[in-house]
A and B are shown apart, each in its own frame.
Chain A
Amino acid sequence: MSSSTPWPPSRRRPDVDRMAGVGVSPGVGAGPAHLLVGEIPEPPADARHDGDAAAETARAVVALERVAADLEARGVQAGGTAEDVLEAQAMMARDPELVEGVSALVGGGMAASRAVYQAFQKYRDMLASAGGYLAERVADLDDIRDRVVALLTGVPMPGVPVDAAVPYVLIARDLAPADTAVLSRDLVAAFVTEEGGPTSHTAILARAMGVPAVVACAGATAITSGTPVLVDGTSGIVRLMPSDEEVAEARDAAAARQAALSAVTGPGRTSDGHPVPLLANVGGPGDLPAALANGAEGVGLYRTEFLFLDRAAPPSAAEQVEAYRAVLAAFPGGRVVVRTLDAGADKPLAFLPPPGHEPNPALGERGLRMFRVHQEVMAAQLGALAVAAAGTEAKLQVMAPMVATRAEAEWFVRACRSAGLPEAGIMIEIPAAALRAADLAGAVDFFSIGTNDLAQYTFAADRQLSGLTELQDPWQPALLDLIHGAAVAASAQGKGCGVCGEAAADPVLACVLVGLGVTSLSMASPALPAVRAALARHSLDQCVLAAVDARGAPSAEIARAAARAHLPGLADLAL
């Protein structure tokens, strides 16, 4: 069947001079692009040397040693955890068995570059097949190999320039600790990565450095080095070849917006005083300074995966208690919503038997479903949470991810109660749970809507596929309907219903969510001031009208415009 109707043009399809990603560290930065060199080409399998095996071996050894010394020096300069990582890499480059392997291959006539490549391959295979923590080290090994091969073949070394006339905009697929350990504000004007999310290494580093950053920016690595780039770490917009006026304008707007935003402080509320607690999404105690600096009233989503991933043994009770207590202690009198472990086939736990192959991990045995198989892991986590909560003044709320039915919700709540946890809730991220919210609300103490997964499952559109971004748009009226249904069902039974997905971080959508009946908003900390300011400029009635018209719209685009028409205060904030 053929159709003459054109496919709807994608709003976010990047054109040549403008790209959009997710702003994860606010502010505006401009400078020449520096594209981080990606792959070093594999030396050809038939590369031979000219016959002097001893000299060729010596070249390889010198290259390995230079790379080791360089990694070590970067480590010393960086300090902290990065030093441990880089020092371990230096040891790998100096591994005597590796050197022996290279020497044997060169003795057989192979060129040094190829010999290094093959010698690494053996260990690469061993580590990759071990899985878990060791498979993660494969990237470290590849990094060393690429550096050595680059030296031997005379191609530019992967890595970032550590001296530059003017600060540059660093563009990469994603950034590794070795890339970023030596960076500073004087060197980098902004970060743009094609992959990564608000809690990726890049995002965390950028916020710590106070440098603007945009992640998940499709097509970013197509930008050529040297191209002038303007990056807005708040809106996520990346502009190529901006004029001087555009740069000046963006800087002024950022400064004005910053001033307007920081003028509004205190707990979240609408202009007529309707309270909307504004909470932070955190991935560990390391995210607390940003949360507190941005005035978070508590934590609305504490992702606990960092405690469990990439390790050979489960975290001890003491380690878990410490990690939970650190966050609880930061918000005396506030609330801390902890999401229990959300792992699955795409994020396997090294200390558990490997899960069976799942062709579609997003639809597999993950989240609460994984807990049904490994109940001891859940019991240990809930127990540690109960211990951590004792003696702190924060209100601990615990919630389970990937709940579809009332029976699952009841099972989780029972487990929480028997662990001594008074408040147990669920994530609303599966459409079945949203559709039957009235049923589920009776079984739990609260809801928290994960808009990212709820959109993925509602639109049958994989979050990882950048080609389907349009269907992931949280302004889609179908998604707004589900959020409204869940919020109304919770409210009818006197229960709270928060949102902890990316949707809450959009100041315009935040007003609409409040109008839909959502009772608290949780987001990456840098987004808090803009959301607080947008709410403070509008009454609850305005939010409700915006929500009604957004739900009445036939598309995300029209929903956005319809809502804006009811929210005049956004203009003052340049939002």
Chain B
Amino acid sequence: MAERKVTVQSEVGLHARPAATFVQTAAKATVNVTVARMSGEPVSAKSILSVLALDVRQGETIVISADGEGADELLDALAAIASAP
């Protein structure tokens, strides 16, 4: 299981446009991918409703995890989205 810890930089947090881009990218992948708050329950990164409900604000750190073929590339792409200002 590969994972990335990322601090969300966007001013609006993982909401609105950043959340949409994040979920769209995750949804294209064939493997399972989850996102969680630090020491929180992971939710599917392909679910916009679950990602929004995490309510991640600017400056908070999230853990993105995936397993299987292409997991590392996917996690890199998602981490880049989450850490973009």
Q: Indicate if B63 sits at the interface (CB-CB under 8 A).
A: no
What CA separation (Å) do A95 and B20 show in the bound complex? 11
Cross-chain contact A96 with B44 (CB below 8 angstroms): yes
By a CB distance below 8 angstroms, the chain A residues around B44 are 96-97
Cross-chain contact B20 with A88 (CB below 8 angstroms): yes
CB proximity of A147 to chain B, nearest CB, Å: 16
- A81-138: which residues lie under 8 A (CB-CB) from chain B? 84, 87-88, 91-92, 95-98, 123, 126-127, 130, 133-134, 137
Which segment of A232-240, A258-266, A308-316, A334-342 sits at the interface? A308-316
Known: A84-B17, A88-B20. A311 touches B55 (CB 8 A): no
What CA separation (Å) do A391 and B47 show in the bound complex? 47
Known: A127-B53, A312-B58. A95 touches B16 (CB 8 A): no
Q: Which of A98, A130, A137 is in CB contact (< 8 Å) with B47?
A: A98
By a CB distance below 8 angstroms, the chain B residues around A351 are 57
Q: How large is the interface on B (under 10, 10 to 19, 20 to 34, 35 or more residues)?
A: 20 to 34
By a CB distance below 8 angstroms, the chain B residues around A137 are 52
Kindly report which residue of chain B lies nearest to residue A125, judged by CB atoms: B53
Most chain-A CB neighbours within 10 Å: which of B23, B44, B46, B48? B48
What CA separation (Å) do A315 and B13 show in the bound complex? 12
What CA separation (Å) do A91 and B51 show in the bound complex? 12
Known: A87-B20, A88-B20, A134-B55. A97 touches B12 (CB 8 A): no
CB proximity of B27 to chain A, nearest CB, Å: 8
- B9-29: which residues lie under 8 A (CB-CB) from chain A? 11-13, 15-17, 20, 23-24, 27
Q: Indicate if B84 sits at the interface (CB-CB under 8 A).
A: no
CB proximity of B44 to chain A, nearest CB, Å: 6
CB proximity of A97 to chain B, nearest CB, Å: 4
Cross-chain contact B53 with A97 (CB below 8 angstroms): no
What CA separation (Å) do A133 and B15 show in the bound complex? 9
Cross-chain contact A312 with B20 (CB below 8 angstroms): no
Cross-chain contact A95 with B55 (CB below 8 angstroms): no
Interface residues of B (CB under 8 A from A): 11-13, 15-17, 20, 23-24, 27, 43-44, 46-50, 52-53, 55, 57-59
| 22 contacting pairs across A/B (C-beta < 8 A) | A88-B16, A88-B48, A91-B20, A91-B24, A95-B48, A95-B49, A96-B44, A96-B47, A97-B47, A123-B49, A123-B53, A130-B53, A134-B52, A134-B55, A311-B12, A312-B12, A312-B58, A313-B11, A313-B57, A313-B58, A313-B59, A351-B57
